Amino acid sequence: MFSSSRPDRRPMVEVLDLDIDPPHLGDNRGDLDRLERAITGKGFAPLRVHLSQVEELVRRMRKNRFRVRIVLGYASRQWEIVDILPRFSWEPVLGFAVDLGTSTIVFCLVDLEKGEVIDRLSLPNPQLPYGEDILSRILYAGDANNRKTLQQLLLDTLNAGFGSMLARHGFSSGNARALVVAGNTAMSHFLLGLDPSNICREPYIPAANHFPGGHALDLRLDLHPRAVLYVFPNVGAYFGGDLIAGVLASGLHRSSEVQMLVDVGTNAEVILGNRDWLVACAGAAGPALEGGVVERGMMAAEGAIDRVRIDASTIEPSCHVLGDVKPSGICGSGLIDLVAEMFYAGILTVQGRINTALDSRRITKQGGVPAYVLVFGSETADGADLLVSELDVGIFLKSKAAMYTILAVITRKVGIDFTGIRKFYIAGTFGNVIDPAMAIRIGMLPDLPVETYSGLGNASLKGAVSTLLDRSLLDDAEKVCNRIAYVELNVNMELMNEFRAALFLPHTDSRLFPSVRIPGKARI
Amino acid sequence: MFSSSRPDRRPMVEVLDLDIDPPHLGDNRGDLDRLERAITGKGFAPLRVHLSQVEELVRRMRKNRFRVRIVLGYASRQWEIVDILPRFSWEPVLGFAVDLGTSTIVFCLVDLEKGEVIDRLSLPNPQLPYGEDILSRILYAGDANNRKTLQQLLLDTLNAGFGSMLARHGFSSGNARALVVAGNTAMSHFLLGLDPSNICREPYIPAANHFPGGHALDLRLDLHPRAVLYVFPNVGAYFGGDLIAGVLASGLHRSSEVQMLVDVGTNAEVILGNRDWLVACAGAAGPALEGGVVERGMMAAEGAIDRVRIDASTIEPSCHVLGDVKPSGICGSGLIDLVAEMFYAGILTVQGRINTALDSRRITKQGGVPAYVLVFGSETADGADLLVSELDVGIFLKSKAAMYTILAVITRKVGIDFTGIRKFYIAGTFGNVIDPAMAIRIGMLPDLPVETYSGLGNASLKGAVSTLLDRSLLDDAEKVCNRIAYVELNVNMELMNEFRAALFLPHTDSRLFPSVRIPGKARI
C-alpha cells in the first residue's frame, strides 16, 4: 500500500499530551487562549475552535488541572479540536475509510495511532432497489423527497456498518474521530444530499467538485460528533472521488516516471501521468470484464472460476474455484485466462472463432453456435454444463478491444507509446487477481514486461485508508483534481478502426505484441 | 464617530452581484466550485463554505440561472456566504451593534450598505434581579443551571430588542446579517454561556480572552441564522471587550500623537497611548461621578439636573433639567457643574467645606451638616428640597480625587506628563455632556486646553457600530488586545499621598491647575 512506504506520514487525527502552565498573576491569559497557545506552540496551526466548543474545552481543562490529552483533527488546511480528555486517559484513535460503491459499500476500521487496518466489512448498497445502475438512481433523485430517501438509506447503512464494526472490537462510536469517503460523483452527491440531476445532462455538471470539510454531526453519523469528515473531490461527472483516491493509492501523481492506472469496472477509467502531468479518460470497456453479460459470467464470489489452464495437447482444462464448492460460473480473471488459454491451445482462432475441427468431447454447439465445455454438468453447482460459446467470446473480445483502444488512444494523445510506461496499476474488483501475462496474450493489456504490472485491488478504499494515515494526501487530492486533464473520447473513425483492429487475438498488428506467439492452429 | 472619518472603510457584510458564466462542455466545473471562483475572483478570499450550505447554494444559483446576489460576511479573517439571493432582489443589509452593559443593554440597528445607524434602543439588563452588581451575578453563575438561566435571560432580551427594532422599520429577522457585541468580560461570558467563576478569584482568569467567531444560529438568536457574530475580546477580568470597542471608537490606537481615553462608570478605565504603545489601568473612581451615592444623585434621565450655573454675587443657581418636568435629582455632569460653581461662587472652600458664613436662604443644615439648597421643595418633583450637603461634597471629592490620581499615576508611569497628551476622550454615560472646563476647575481632569477634550458618549456602542461598518477594525481589536499593557494600580503610600493631595479644590498643588483661579472666599 502506498502510504506504508512513507515513514514520515502523519495521520489526519493526532493525539497531543499537554501539561499546560497554570495561570498566575504574572500570566493571566484566558483559559481558552492558554490552551490554543499550547496547541499551536506544538506546530498544530492554524487552529480553529468552534464557538460551541469553548465551554466544554475550558471546563474539562480546569477539571483536569491543565493536564490534558487533546485529539486534533486536520481538515481544510486547519486544525480542529476533536476532543479533550484527561492527560493519562487511554482510548484508541480510530477512523473509518469507506469506499462508497454503486453496488457495494466497503468499510475499513483503522487505528490511526498504530497505522493499522483493524477490520473490513462489505455491505450491499441499500439504494440497489432504487436502480441497479446509477443512472436510474440519479433520475429518481431529481425529486427532493426521493433524494432525502436515498441519502437516508446510505446514512443508515453507514451507521449500521460503523456500529457493528466498532461493537465487534469493543469500541464505542465516540472512539471514531475521522471518516474519509471515496465514492463516484453520483454516490458522493447522494451521501451529501446534493442534487445529482445535472450530472447526467449535458454539459454534465456536478453540484460540486470539491466538498467542504465537515463533521460527523453534520450528517448525524454515529461517530464522535466532531469526527472530521472528508469526501474526496471529483473532476467531473465521470471522474469521481473514488478515482482520485485510487490515484493517491497508486502514488503515480508523485512519481518521476510515467505510470498508468486502470480501474476496471463497468467503465474502464484510465489515468496516465507522473508528478508533472496527469491525463485521464474513461470508456465503456464493457461489463464482460467484470464477469457480467457473458452467459455464465459472475462476480468474483464463492463458486466462481477465477483461474483456468488448458493442456494444449488434450485441450482439457483445469480450473480454480473460489470457495470449497462446485463451480457455478466464471469471473473476470477466469474469463481472461480461459480465452487466453483457448487461444494458445488452438481452440480459438485469431478472429475469436472456435475451431470446431478439433476432435474433443469439449467442442460442442449451443443453439447452433460453437462452444467449449469448461466444466461438465456432473461437476457444476447447478448440474448444467458450464460452457463458453463463440457468442460469449465475441462479447468478451469487444470488451477487451475497447479496453485496449482506450489505453492506446490516451497514450498516443500524450505523445508517448506504451514502452514509455514504467508502471501499470490495475485496480478494480479483479485488479489484484488478473494475470498480466494472460491479459497481454489476448491483447487486452499492452505487451510490457509483466513486472510492469501491479494489482491494486480496491484502490479507492486503499486511497481512503492512506489518507486517514497520511494527511499530506488531502493536499495531494486537491492538487490531483486541479492538475488532471480529462480527455473526452469521442467516437470517430480513427477510434473505430483502432477498435476493430483490437478485436483480434491479440491484435491485427502482431508487431504490437512481440511476446505473444500465434499458434498455428489459431491462424485460419 | 471614528469610522465616518475613513472613506475607505468596508463593512463586515458586503453584497456582491454576480453574473456567472453558465457551464458548458468547455467549462464543466461543478456548480459550487464555479460560485466559489466567482466570489474569490472578486477579492473575497479566503472563502469558507459550510457543508450544510452546499445544497441550498447550488439550488438557488441554478434557480436564478447563475445570476445571483451574494451576501458575504467577514469573520475570523475569512469570508463566509451568509445568503444567496436573486440577482435583482432588493433587501436591506442590516446589522446590530450591542453594548451589553451590566445595567443597560443598548442596541443600534445599522444599515451596512448606507453606513447609517437606523435606530437605537435601550433595555434594562434582565439579569438585574440576580444582582445589581456584576460580582453577585458571577457568584450566582458558578452553578451551571444558574448560568443557563442568566444566559437565556440575555438571549431573550436580545431577541426582544432585535424583534421590536426590526418590526418598527418593517424589516424581518432574516435581513439582519451581522451582530457585534461589546460587553465587559463577565457580560461577554454570560452571553456565551461560559463559566465566569475564575474572573473574580485570584489570579482572575477569564474562560477566554478571544472568543471564536460564530453565527446567530449558534446562540439561537432571531437574526438570519448565518448572521456573523462577533464578540469583542478582552484583555483580562477587568479590561473587557467594551473597552476594546471604546479604543476603536476613539481611534487612539492608530494615532501618531499620544492620546488618552477615560471611560467613566463605576470604575474609571483609562487607556493611554498611540499607534506604537498602549497602557491601561482601571480604578474605583466611585459611583458618585455617575450620580450615584450622593443623596439626590441619579442617572442622567428625565428629571435629572444636568447643568448648573451659580451667580457668584447672589449665589442663586440656574439649572437645566432633562425632559420637560420638575427636577427629581442631579446627575453626574450636574454635580460637576454644581461643585465647580459652588467653588467659584465661594460657597465651597478649597477643602470642600460649605461656607456657612454666607448670608443666603440657600445655606442651611441637614441633620446638623451644612448644605446648599439647589432647588426648593416648591419646584421639585417630590416636594422636598433638593440640596447637597457637605457630606455629599466629601463623597464627590473622593471620587474626583480618585479619578485624578489614576490619570496622574498612569501618565507618570509611562514617563510623560499631562501636557504630552494631545487628545483626551471622555466616554461613559456622562462623557458627552461633561463640561471639561468645569471638570478642570474642580481638579478632576488635568488642566489642559479645553479643546483637547472630546466627549465620546457610549464609546463601546460606537466601537461596535464602527466595526460593523469597517471590518479592518476586527484586526485592530485583536492587535489592541495583544499590544495593550495592563497596569495594576497597587494601593501604596505614593498613591495615597497623591490621592489626599487631590481631595482639595482643585488640588493642594495649585501649580498643576494654572488656569483655575482660587476665589478669595474659598481660601480658609
Residue A294 pLDDT class (50, 70, 90 cuts): confident
- Ordered DSSP codes for B277-310: -EEEEEE---GGGGT-SSTTB--SSTTEEEEEEE
pLDDT of residue B2: 40
Is B490 in CB contact (< 8 Å) with chain A? no
What does the block give as the cell for A104? Answer: 457495494
Contact between B194 and A76 using a beta-carbon 8 Å cutoff: no
Is A33 in CB contact (< 8 Å) with chain B? yes
- Ordered DSSP codes for B426-475: EEETTTTT--HHHHHHTTSS----GGGEEEEESHHHHHHHHHHH-THHHH
Contact between A58 and B218 using a beta-carbon 8 Å cutoff: no
User: Taking the CA of residue A484 as centre, how many other CA atoms within 13 Å lie in the half-sphere pointing to its CB?
Assistant: 30
Chain A hits for B192, CB-CB cut-off 8 Å, are 51, 54-55
Closest CB from A30, A49, A234 relative to B205: A30
Q: What is the mean pLDDT of residues B109-123?
A: 97
Q: In the predicted model, what is the mean pLDDT of chain A?
A: 93
pLDDT of residue B288: 54
pLDDT of residue B292: 56
Q: What is the mean pLDDT of residues A305-330?
A: 94
Closest CB from B54, B202, B211 relative to A207: B54
Q: What is the pLDDT of residues B397-413, one digit of tens each?
A: 998 999 999 999 999 99
Rounded-to-integer distance, Cα A73 and Cα A216, Å:
12
Residues contacting residue A273 through CB under 8 Å, at least 6 positions apart: A252, A253, A258, A259, A279, A414, A484
Chain A hits for B32, CB-CB cut-off 8 Å, are 207-210
Is B77 in CB contact (< 8 Å) with chain A? no
* b/e per residue B365-395 (b: at least 16 CB within 10 A): ebeeebbbbbbeeeebeeeebbbbbbebbeb
What does the block give as the cell for A303? Answer: 463458486
Please, are residues B451 and B237 in contact by the beta-carbon 8 Å criterion? no
Q: What is the mean pLDDT of residues A209-213?
A: 97
What does the block give as the cell for A117? Answer: 487496518
| Helical segments of A201-289, H only | 241-250
Q: What is the mean pLDDT of residues B186-213?
A: 96
Task: Enter the DSSP assignment of B251.
Answer: T
Q: What is the mean pLDDT of residues B114-121?
A: 97
What does the block give as the cell for A316? Answer: 482439457
Check residues A495 and B29 and name the one with the higher pLDDT: B29
Residue B249: phi, psi to the nearest 5?
A: -65, -35
Chain B hits for A62, CB-CB cut-off 8 Å, are 198
pLDDT at B7 over 80: no
Is B213 in CB contact (< 8 Å) with chain A? yes
Residues β-bridged to residue A27 = A24
Please, are residues A426 and A453 in contact by the beta-carbon 8 Å criterion? yes
pLDDT at A430 over 80: no
Residue B454 pLDDT class (50, 70, 90 cuts): very high
Q: What is the pLDDT of residues B51-84, one digit of tens each?
A: 999 999 999 999 999 999 999 999 999 999 999 9
- Ordered DSSP codes for B346-375: TSB-TTS-B-TTS--TTEEEETTEEEEEEE
Closest CB from A30, A50, A202 relative to B208: A30
> What is the Cα Rg of chain A in Å?
26
Is A155 in CB contact (< 8 Å) with chain B? no
Say how many CB pairs under 8 Å bridge A and B.
Answer: 131
Closest CA to B231 of B268, B196, B184: B184
By residue count, chain B amounts to: 524
Q: Which of A32, A48, A57, A181 to mutate to test the interface with B (most CBs of B within 10 A)?
A: A32
Residue B101 pLDDT class (50, 70, 90 cuts): very high
A residues 388-427 lying closer than 8 A (beta carbon) to B: none
Is A372 in CB contact (< 8 Å) with chain B? no
Q: What is the mean pLDDT of residues B168-175?
A: 98
Rounded-to-integer distance, Cα B464 and Cα B45, Å:
24
* Percent of chain B topping pLDDT 70: 96
Is B198 in CB contact (< 8 Å) with chain A? yes
Task: Order across the sheet with A214-215: list the strands.
Answer: A116-124, A104-111, A94-100, A176-183, A228-231, A214-215
pLDDT at A280 over 90: yes
Check residues B288 and A163 and name the one with the higher pLDDT: A163
- Ordered DSSP codes for B144-182: HHHHHHHHHHHHHHHHHHHHHHHHHTT--GGGEEEEEEE
CA nearest to B208 within chain A: A30
pLDDT of residue B289: 58
State the nearest Cα–Cα gap between A165 and chain B, in angstroms: 26
Please, are residues B505 and B343 in contact by the beta-carbon 8 Å criterion? yes
Chain B hits for A21, CB-CB cut-off 8 Å, are none
Closest CA to A316 of A381, A363, A370: A363
pLDDT of residue B1: 37
CA nearest to A194 within chain B: B55
What does the block give as the cell for A343? Answer: 487461444
Contact between B31 and A59 using a beta-carbon 8 Å cutoff: no
Residue B299 pLDDT class (50, 70, 90 cuts): confident
Residue A290 pLDDT class (50, 70, 90 cuts): low
Closest CA to B257 of B424, B387, B399, B488: B424
Residue A100 pLDDT class (50, 70, 90 cuts): very high
Rounded-to-integer distance, Cα B48 and Cα B46, Å:
7
Residue labelled with grid coordinates 440640596: B387
Is B31 in CB contact (< 8 Å) with chain A? yes
Rounded-to-integer distance, Cα A69 and Cα A64, Å:
10
Residue A102: phi, psi to the nearest 5?
A: -65, -35
Closest CA to A80 of A14, A175, A179, A9: A14
Q: What is the mean pLDDT of residues A15-38?
A: 95
pLDDT of residue B82: 98
pLDDT at A5 over 60: no
Rounded-to-integer distance, Cα A227 and Cα B337, Å:
63
Closest CB from A23, A31, A205 relative to B208: A31
Please, are residues A1 and A466 in contact by the beta-carbon 8 Å criterion? yes
Rounded-to-integer distance, Cα B75 and Cα B141, Å:
29
pLDDT at A3 over 60: no
Rounded-to-integer distance, Cα A129 and Cα A150, Å:
10
pLDDT of residue B266: 67
Rounded-to-integer distance, Cα A29 and Cα B282, Å:
18
> What is residue B47's three-state secondary structure?
strand
Residue B494 pLDDT class (50, 70, 90 cuts): confident
Is B59 in CB contact (< 8 Å) with chain A? yes
Is A218 in CB contact (< 8 Å) with chain B? yes
Check residues A453 and B282 and name the one with the higher pLDDT: A453
Pairing verdict, β A47-48 and A363-366: unpaired
Q: In the predicted model, what is the mean pLDDT of chain B?
A: 92
Is B237 in CB contact (< 8 Å) with chain A? yes
Rounded-to-integer distance, Cα A47 and Cα B383, Å:
64
Residues contacting residue A476 through CB under 8 Å, at least 6 positions apart: A248, A253, A254
Rounded-to-integer distance, Cα B66 and Cα B20, Å:
5
pLDDT of residue B4: 44
**E strand or H helix that includes residue B79:** strand B78-86
Rounded-to-integer distance, Cα B217 and Cα B360, Å:
65
Contact between A55 and B195 using a beta-carbon 8 Å cutoff: yes
pLDDT at B431 over 60: no
Q: What is the mean pLDDT of residues A435-440?
A: 94
Least trusted range by pLDDT, from A380-394, A425-439, B389-403, B465-479: A425-439
Is A63 in CB contact (< 8 Å) with chain B? no
Q: Which stretches of A198-267 are assigned E, i.e. beta strand?
A: 214-215, 228-231, 259-264
Task: Order across the sheet with B369-375: list the strands.
Answer: B363-366, B369-375, B386-389
Q: What is the pLDDT of residues A321-352, one digit of tens each?
A: 999 899 999 988 899 999 999 999 999 999 99
What does the block give as the cell for A423? Answer: 508502471
pLDDT at A300 over 90: no
pLDDT of residue A4: 43
Q: What is the mean pLDDT of residues A506-514?
A: 94
pLDDT of residue B268: 83
Chain A hits for B45, CB-CB cut-off 8 Å, are none
Q: What is the mean pLDDT of residues A127-146?
A: 94
Contact between A30 and B212 using a beta-carbon 8 Å cutoff: no
pLDDT at B240 over 70: yes
* b/e per residue B432-465 (b: at least 16 CB within 10 A): bbbbbebbbbbbbbbbbeeebbbbbbbbbbbbbb
pLDDT of residue B523: 78
Closest CB from A33, A194, A209 relative to B33: A209
Closest CB from B32, B206, B212 relative to A49: B212
Is B145 in CB contact (< 8 Å) with chain A? no
Least trusted range by pLDDT, from A112-121, A513-522, B246-255, B361-370: A513-522
Closest CB from A32, A59, A214 relative to B51: A214
What does the block give as the cell for B292? Answer: 450615584
CB-neighbour burial class of residue A204 (10 A; exposed 0-12, middle 13-18, buried 19+): middle
Is A25 in CB contact (< 8 Å) with chain B? yes
Contact between A214 and B50 using a beta-carbon 8 Å cutoff: yes
Residue B492 pLDDT class (50, 70, 90 cuts): confident
* ipTM of the modeled complex: 0.91
Q: Which of B47, B78, B202, B209 to mutate to test the interface with A (most CBs of A within 10 A)?
A: B209
Residue A292 pLDDT class (50, 70, 90 cuts): low
Residue B3 pLDDT class (50, 70, 90 cuts): very low
pLDDT at A291 over 60: no
* Percent of chain B topping pLDDT 90: 83
